[in-house]
Amino acid sequence: MKKKTKLLLNLALTLFFAVMIIVKGPNLNPLYSDGAFAWCFIFSAYVVLNFLIGLGGIRITTDQASHMSVSVDKNVKGIKTGFTLLIIFWVLYFAATVISMPLFNYKAYRDQLGQPEISEFTDTVQPLALNQLPVVDKALARELADKKVGENPGLGSQVVLGTPVIQKVNDKLVWVVPLEHSGFFKWLKNLDGSAGYIVVSATDVSDVDLVTDHKIKYQENAYLLDDLNRHVRLFEGGLFRGMTDYSFELDDDGVPYWVITTYKNRWLFSLPEASGVAIVNATTGETNYYDIDHLPEWVDRVQPEAFIMQQIQNQGAYVHGIFNFSNQDKFRTSQGNIIVYNGSDCYLFTGLTSVGSDESAIGFIMVDMVTKEPKMYQMSGATEMAAQQSAQGKVQQYGYTASFPMIINLDGKATYFMTLKDRAGLIKQYAFVSVSNYTNVGTGETIDSALRNFRQVMGSSNDGIITGQGAKEAEGKVYRIASEALGESITYKLILKEKPNQIFTISYDLSNELALTEPGDRVKISYMASGTGICIATAFDNLEFKQISEDEETAPAEPPVPLPPSSPGSEVPDGDEAEGASGIQNSDEPAAAESSEAMESGNSAE
């Protein structure tokens, strides 16, 4: 074959691979499995082209009887070298793939996560105020964002919703949903980017904002050079980097970025380990790389969920090596995980079950999503799925489905919290489920009512929260009182003069007297003890008021008991003594006050 034809064929093959690289944006680093495979495939194509076809390496001959035969010309220059290199490359690739398996280095798999710190749940997990409980999950965040898009005429036909990402922005827990082009022609019409993004509060279903101050030009499913992966790989030095987990996040000023995890393999083609992030401005495309120790403060997570979950699984699977056929001490993650925030830090939280057990948890593990520091809580109880089924069983007549539960520190005990949604995906009720005994379930149409129901259930059970940190009573004068609207519910917050370091939160439906209470009133409160200074009331009574029925109010007063006539010569006592002798006391005397308080305490208990 002529040299010119050979050159043209090689140019055509090179052009084909160049187009594929531009379109796919692959990782070309041979230290990664996909990069090594790409180079082996490319080299194979050139060997086949140049040594078999281009140089006449394959000969097709026909004899006189029209029988066709195919033979390889072993005398073609370079064919031996080409095939030798080709075999070496593929042998190295498959050898590295096989040696990367746990069979040859199970300790690296087992120890990648690191030894978890054994911690007490209540010592490290901070209690949350009721108005800070996340009630909006990923599915509901998408529903609310979609509804917000529908409220803007013309926008719904231009964009589709990207993947919601939970994060903290200025200490507020939110879901952020990017708006992406709905098709090629919509992208062509809006080359400067899509309309922006939607922010959905994770704690309030009514708090949904459409932000149009920043265009989203670079997207995961955009076209040509606006495609995020293509942009980072081709123009921002990512062609030879391990990259995964493209996450849409905001800085504290609301500027949108794509946070992409960079990683390296710890053992040949296996055990990927996050090494840092590539942060891409979603509007301008400007990209900066950071290692884990020098991240911007607003970046909440670096570790991909898939990496962490696999490392937990590996630690449980190879706890005693590869050939542990008796499954001694083996454990695995429960079915699912959740991203939670403990203070300002982001964690992955999941239950641990022994191999072969589905509903019983042997503990829980919480992994920092930046540093990968693991904490393990060794406590037996129900898995997340068992808790979901228990909560759904409590309201089975309605057919509600439970969201994936999050575990919280409630009254010093680990407790599952979840929402109960109807078939349309709307929140109808809330549920608390005890981790230690998942038959203890409290539900209600508000978080407050669900919590009261849960505490009643726990108080009547053998393992109730009364033990250790039980119900208490406080009596004193109101120092401050204010109401706060939380969705469709109203919560009163009150400080007693005698307990200035405690805030009592009281649901509006505990007492009709709450709306009439003002500073200076003497009140009695029953509440659950808490180590946070935030005490949730279970009963409230304003001692300044005494409610009586209409019949009692209109009934005629009993005539006074006449005093017996004084005997001759006896002294008539003066006013106070006379009252004492007749058994009648002033209303402001202590005995009467005690009697009144006892009566009102009885009313409150009723």
pLDDT band, residue 376 (cuts 50/70/90): very high
pLDDT, tens only, 316-331 = 999 999 999 989 999 9
Of the candidates 446, 469, 466, the one whose C-alpha atom is nearest the C-alpha of residue 456 is: 466
CATH code linked to domain 471-542: 2.40.50.360
Averaged pLDDT for residues 471-487: 85
Cα 522 to the chain's mean position, in Å?
A: 42
Q: Which residues of 445-482 are buried (b: 16+ CB within 10 A; e: fewer)?
A: ebbbbbbbbbbebbeeeeebbbeeeeeeebebebeebe
| Residue bearing tokens 């919290």 | 417
- pLDDT at site 460: 61
Other CB atoms within a 10 A radius of the CB of residue 321 amount to 11
Averaged pLDDT for residues 46-57: 69
Give the residue ranges of DSSP H helices in 151-220. Answer: 184-189
- pLDDT at site 72: 61
User: What DSSP state is assigned to residue 130?
Assistant: G
Q: How far apart, in whole angstroms, are the C-alpha atoms of residue 462 and residue 467? A: 9
Asked if residue 551 has pLDDT above 70, the reply is no
Asked if residue 583 has pLDDT above 50, the reply is no
- pLDDT at site 350: 94
- pLDDT at site 125: 83
Asked if residue 560 has pLDDT above 90, the reply is no
- pLDDT at site 52: 65
pLDDT: is 472 or 22 the higher one?
22
pLDDT, tens only, 490-516 = 888 999 999 998 999 888 878 889 999
Asked if residue 55 has pLDDT above 80, the reply is no
Share of the chain above pLDDT 70, in %: 82
pLDDT, tens only, 59-78 = 666 766 767 776 666 555 66
Asked if residue 51 has pLDDT above 90, the reply is no
φ/ψ region of 76 (left if φ > 0, alpha if ψ in -120 to 50, else beta) reads: beta
CA angle 435, 437, 443 (to 5 degrees): 75
pLDDT, tens only, 143-183 = 999 999 999 888 888 999 999 999 999 999 999 999 999 99
Contact between 255 and 235 (Cβ < 8 Å): no
Contact between 442 and 450 (Cβ < 8 Å): yes
Share of the chain above pLDDT 90, in %: 60
Three-state SS for 171?
coil
Contacts of 574 (CB under 8 A, 6+ apart): none
User: Considering the chain, what is the average pLDDT of its residues?
Assistant: 84
Other CB atoms within a 10 A radius of the CB of residue 273 amount to 15
pLDDT band, residue 367 (cuts 50/70/90): very high
Please report the sign of the dihedral spanned by the C-alpha atoms of residue 250, residue 251, residue 254, residue 256.
Answer: negative
- pLDDT at site 487: 54
Q: Phi and psi of 439, rounded to 5°?
A: -80, -15
Asked if residue 17 has pLDDT above 90, the reply is yes
| Residue bearing tokens 């109010």 | 553
Q: How far apart, in whole angstroms, are the C-alpha atoms of residue 582 and residue 575? A: 11
Which region among 174-178, 308-312, 581-585 has the lowest average model confidence (pLDDT)? 581-585
Beta bridge partners of 421: 401, 427
- pLDDT at site 53: 62
Q: Phi and psi of 308, rounded to 5°?
A: -65, -45
Q: How far apart, in whole angstroms, are the C-alpha atoms of residue 76 and residue 178? A: 58
Burial class of residue 348, CB neighbours in 10 A (0-12, 13-18, 19+): buried
Averaged pLDDT for residues 3-20: 88
- pLDDT at site 489: 65
- pLDDT at site 565: 52
Of the candidates 278, 279, 281, the one whose C-alpha atom is nearest the C-alpha of residue 255 is: 281
Verdict on whether the full-model pTM lies above 0.85? no
Which region among 229-233, 290-294, 357-361 has the lowest average model confidence (pLDDT)? 357-361
Distances (CA, A) of 218 to 214, 253, 283, 505: 12, 19, 7, 46
pLDDT: is 592 or 24 the higher one?
24
Beta bridge partners of 525: 474, 540
Other CB atoms within a 10 A radius of the CB of residue 281 amount to 17
Beta strand 522-528 with 471-486: parallel, antiparallel or unpaired? antiparallel
- pLDDT at site 589: 40
pLDDT: is 68 or 535 the higher one?
535
- pLDDT at site 2: 60
pLDDT: is 336 or 391 the higher one?
391
Three-state SS for 164?
coil
pLDDT band, residue 290 (cuts 50/70/90): very high
Over its C-alpha atoms, the chain yields an Rg (Å, rounded) of 36
pLDDT band, residue 410 (cuts 50/70/90): confident
pLDDT, tens only, 176-221 = 999 999 999 999 999 999 999 999 999 999 999 999 999 999 999 8
Burial class of residue 7, CB neighbours in 10 A (0-12, 13-18, 19+): exposed
Three-state SS for 472?
strand
Of the candidates 215, 281, 210, the one whose C-alpha atom is nearest the C-alpha of residue 251 is: 281
Beta bridge partners of 474: 525
| Residue bearing tokens 């989203």 | 216
Averaged pLDDT for residues 273-300: 96
- 312 sits in which H/E element: helix 305-317
Domain boundaries, the chain: 3-99, 134-302, 382-460, 471-542
Contact between 347 and 367 (Cβ < 8 Å): yes
Residue positions counted in the chain: 606
- pLDDT at site 220: 93
